[in-house]
Structure formats: structure tokens, C-alpha cells
Structure 1
């Protein structure tokens, strides 16, 4: 099922890596270009998409 790109805080798991925004379950007609986000390299395991400002957090 596809979801509108309205969530601004998304928790992801290791199975979702490599992380890219928009994510596969988001609709694409109103999305920005796909960008890969290297969340694993961030000290707090959080990263913000430079296009849409969605904040991702890697949870283990």
C-alpha cells in the first residue's frame, strides 16, 4: 500500500538500509528525486532529508 508523503518523522530498521527518500511505500507523483541518505554514518543515527525535511531515525 502506498502512503502520501506527509509523515515528517519516520523510524526505520536495518532492513530498510540503504535508506533513500522517498521510501518505496510512498507515492511518487508528488515526490522529489530519490536521494540516498547515509544514516549509518551519523553519530546519533538520525538524518534529515535535504529535499523534504523528513527526519529519519534508525532504531535497532
Structure 2
């Protein structure tokens, strides 16, 4: 039996620094269900929350700005 997880598509403006988003995010109905963690999308445009399994995916055509 496979477990279903939410998939959240994010745009570059949703990123909290160089290619990361945080989970839980404020749009979640139970946003305080686990500690805030940063999910790295910078390697392949996708990452998974280790607590709830939510997948965060960069929207098609969006680019991660790499600053130095």
C-alpha cells in the first residue's frame, strides 16, 4: 500500500533563501503540527519534508537564483 503525500508547487518568490522553503507552511490547515524545517529544492527542484512527507516542487519554468 503506497502512502499519499501532498505536493506543493512553489514559485521562485516563495523560496526562503537559496533554494529552500519551510514546512509546515502558513497555508497548511494545521501549520503547527511539527517543528519548522527547511526543505532544500536547490539540487533537483524538489524536496520532501522529513516530518510529514509533503513534497515541495518548483513550478515548471521557475529558476532558483544562486547568489554569492
Residue 14 of structure 2 is matched in structure 1 by 16
**TM-score by structure 2 length?**
0.65
Contact 2:46 2:57 in 1 (8 A): yes
Secondary structure of 1:15 counterpart: helix
> Residue 28 of structure 1: which of 24, 28, 31 is its match?
31
Stretches of structure 2 that go unaligned for 5 or more consecutive residues are 63-68
User: Structure 1 CA distance, aligned partners of 2:58 and 2:26?
Assistant: 17
Residue 56 of structure 1 is matched in structure 2 by 56
Q: Count matched residues.
A: 51
**TM-score by structure 1 length?**
0.72
Stretches of structure 1 that go unaligned for 5 or more consecutive residues are 1-6
Runs of 4 or more consecutive aligned structure 1 residues displaced over 4 Å after TM superposition: none
Q: Which has the larger radius of gyration?
A: 2
Higher helix share goes to which structure? 1
